[in-house]
Amino acid sequence: MTVGEVMTKDQTRPAPESVEEPEPPRRSRRPIAIAVGIVVLMALVGAGAVIGPPLWRSIMAPRSDRLAFPGVVEAQEIRLGSKVGGRVSEVHVREGDRIAPGSPLVTLEVPELEAQRAQWQAKGKADLAALEKARNGPRREEIAAAAAAVAAASARNDRIKKGFREEEIREARNDWLSAEADLKLAEENLGRYDALFRKNSTTKSQVDAAQADLDRARGRASAVRAHFDLVTRGNRPEEIAEAAALLDQARANLDLLKAGTRAEDIAAMEAQVEQTRARLREVDANLAEAVVRSPGRALVDVISVRKGDLVAPGQAVVRILSADDLWVKVFIPETELGRVVVGQPAEVTIDSHPGARFEGRVVQIAHESEFTPRNIQSLDERRHQVFAAKVRVTEPDGIFKSGMAAEVYLLASSDQPPARSEGNR
């Protein structure tokens, strides 16, 4: 049968009667929801491949009450030196030694300070002796001597006021009369020798000797007359005033000794003693600086001087790592920051002691975030900003070393961040 014949038969075939087609059954929506879920799941899987497994686990995994952060052990570094300079006389430790609090590390020679200390000690003894003397006041012997001086001055004053005694006056009068008699006799002898010389009955030398005797008699008579006038008139007013002043001075000196040392003088001497003691304490403090000591338990890291080296004031001579100030530094993602608080207990593990857990506590959380930590320690590959935190541990037997890797486990303080108060909104 040809194609044309077929076409002719189809065209001549009678048209079928119109029959109502049945309504197709309604499809269920459940397969559509399943398909959409599969697509979303595939999208999440693809996103996980792009953003990385850690963040994928952070998104997909449920939040746990236990947080884990990798970190590094750090220790407080201390540079020790002396406030005074000097020459190194002894180095007591070696690098790597473990030292106890107060252990001597380096000793410096300071002969100048030792000499100053001896000087201030001697001055302190002298000042203390002077203070004791001032507090005790004058001795009884000194007061007795001052009283005797008053008595002597009083007697002299009375003698000056009364003048010469009657016996002295009579003696002066008799001396004057005797001198006058000698003068009269000398005049008469000279007259006789002069008359004999005119008669050529004596020599010129005898006349001259008589003249000399007369002159001596006149001088003695004049001196005796002056002394007589002195004893009869008494002492001059100036001498009387001087005697009275000396008496007043002696009395004042006695009163001064009886009154003792003034309170102001004692206070000044006490201040001098305290000043000397303070200078001595200053020298002792500088002498203590001659020995560099450890402030606590530590590990000697670097010794920068040797015996004989000259050290300047303030120069660091030893670097130590504190054994009592160890911590693990970790980085906390911002998404977990609300679950960590200062004072939160922690457990720390290190690779060198597998299975051992050491107790610790969060002591600090940084107030500023970091986007790329220096040691790259955050768990979300640094795609989120993180905050540095310190977890302090108690070191057992020196197990922890600075720079050692560690794992920190924290029990979350809360599943939700704390609610903000009205004042913080």
Please give the Cα distance from 238 to 198 (Å, whole number). Answer: 55
Backbone angles phi, psi at 211, to 5 degrees: -65, -40
Task: List pLDDT tens digits, range 135-185.
Answer: 998 989 999 999 999 999 999 888 888 777 778 888 888 888 898 898 888
Q: Output the average pLDDT for the chain.
A: 80
Check whether 36 has a pLDDT greater than 50.
Answer: no
Task: Read off the pLDDT band of 418 (50, 70, 90).
Answer: very low
Q: What's the confidence (pLDDT) of residue 120?
A: 95
SS3 for 145? helix
Query: Which of 19-33, 239-253, 405-419 has the least mean pLDDT?
Result: 19-33
CA geometry: angle at 271 spanning 267 and 276, to 5°?
Answer: 150
Q: Which residue has the higher pLDDT, 132 or 7?
A: 132
Q: What is the pLDDT of residue 55?
A: 36
Question: Can you spell out the DSSP letters for 211-262?
Answer: HHHHHHHHHHHHHHHHHHHHHHH---HHHHHHHHHHHHHHHHHHHHHHH-S-
Tokens of 200: 């050529």
When pLDDT is averaged across residues 257-264 and rounded to a whole number, the result is 89
Sequence-separated (6 or more) residues with CB below 8 Å from residue 411: 65, 66, 67, 344, 345
Per-residue tokens: 219? 């001088």
Q: How far apart are CA 205 and CA 214, in angstroms?
A: 14
Q: Residue 320: count other Cβ atoms within 10 Å of its Cβ.
A: 26
**Tally of CA atoms within 13 A in the half-sphere of 261 that contains its CB:** 18
pTM > 0.75: no
pLDDT of residue 395 exceeding 90, the answer is no
CA 118 to chain centre: 22
pLDDT tens per residue across span 352-366: 888 899 999 999 999
Q: Give one word for 304, left, alpha or beta, with left for phi > 0 and alpha for psi -120 to 50.
A: alpha
The CATH classification number of 55-77+323-424 equals 2.40.30.170
- Of the pLDDT bands very low, low, confident and very high (cuts 50, 70, 90), residue 123 is very high
Half-sphere exposure of 12 (CA within 13 A, CB side): 6
Contact 127, 273 (CB under 8 A): yes
Chain segment 44-102, per-residue pLDDT in tens: 444 444 333 433 333 334 456 789 999 999 988 999 999 998 999 999 999 989 999 99
Q: Are 382 and 32 in contact (CB under 8 A)?
A: no
